[in-house]
Amino acid sequence: MHPAPSIIAFTTLSGLGFGLMFWLGIGMPGSTGLVAFVFFAIAYALAGGGLIASAFHLGHPERGLLAFTQWRSSWLSREAICAVVTLAVMAAYAIGRVFLAADWVPLGWLGAVLAVGTVFTTSMIYTQMKTVPRWRSLLTPALFLSLSLGGGALLAGQVSWALILLPLAGMLQLAWWWQGDRAFAASGTTMASATGLGGIGSVRAFEPPHTGPNYLLREMVHVVGRKHAIKLRMIALLLGYVLPVALLVLPFAHVFGLLAVISHIAGILASRWLFFAEAEHVVGLYYGKR
């Protein structure tokens, strides 16, 4: 799949932002006043910024309100609703914490649950795709959720939780890569089933329907990005998981915390880039490609 920068930025940053909102919502940290304002501002910048980045991906963002209508069937619609409701609920909760030094616990918990729900709906947009076997696994939502909560804990200064959740996310990342590398073969979709010609003999793409590129090849059959996959996996693992955990284990200093956050974001961006670049859509089979 084409690794669109807007989608990579959206899923990475808003995942972190909603993760931070979860911790703020359950009162960890339970700061008030200016400190709370800074925390909520970071959470809103990440979550809201990610949402705005995703709008750049749309052909007609001016019709965006329609995306709130199809929650009965569409995970994308559910995500849009969850995201906006979370931002609204947490805004009300933040007013209490920042301006009134009040902790409206039920509201905070509601916002926390909604924040996790938003990340879950995001992950389900990918998980539901039967056409992309690498994504179609319960490990996908598990990875997205653990990353969001782990990264959120890192941002929220919940070091002990981050030290549990980030290694967990790293383990899920490895498991996701492991099963993802086998998913396409396990899906059973081949050139033989795509063309129905497998009963005659072995099928080879002889001539594509068009001499130039097209939307399908640009969007779904992006093979260039896989060239450095192994190196990028190492970078993602080191920067996203190993280095932040190492920095958190060191005696506490704000500069280490900041470095851990920057390293984590860089690593997760690399991981998310691979999430798309390595994802093979079954339509590539019609072109004899993966």
Sequence-separated (6 or more) residues with CB below 8 Å from residue 283: 131, 216, 220, 221
Q: Binding marks (x or -) toward other proteins, 235..254, rule CB under 8 A?
A: --------------------
Please tell me the distance from the alpha carbon of residue 243 to that of residue 261, in angstroms, as a whole number: 10
The reply on whether position 137 binds other proteins by CB under 8 A is: no
Nearest residue (CB) to other proteins, 79 versus 247: 79
Nearest residue (CB) to other proteins, 1 versus 239: 1
Residues in the chain: 290
Tell which positions 141-200 bind other proteins, by CB under 8 A.
187-189, 191, 193-197, 199-200
Cβ-defined contacts of 140-145 (< 8 Å, 24+): 140/176, 142/172, 143/169, 143/172, 143/173, 143/176, 144/11, 144/15, 144/119, 144/120, 145/116, 145/119, 145/120
Member of 34, 106, 160, 209 binding other proteins (CB under 8 A): 209
Q: Which two tokens stand for residue 46?
A: 């990440």
Q: Binding marks (x or -) toward other proteins, 73..102, rule CB under 8 A?
A: xxxxx--x----------------------
The 10 Å Cβ neighbour count of residue 61 is 12
Shortest distance (Å) from residue 184 CB to other proteins: 12
> Which residues here bind other proteins, judged by CB under 8 A?
1, 57-61, 63-64, 66-67, 69-70, 72-77, 80, 125, 128-132, 187-189, 191, 193-197, 199-216, 219-220, 281-283, 286-287
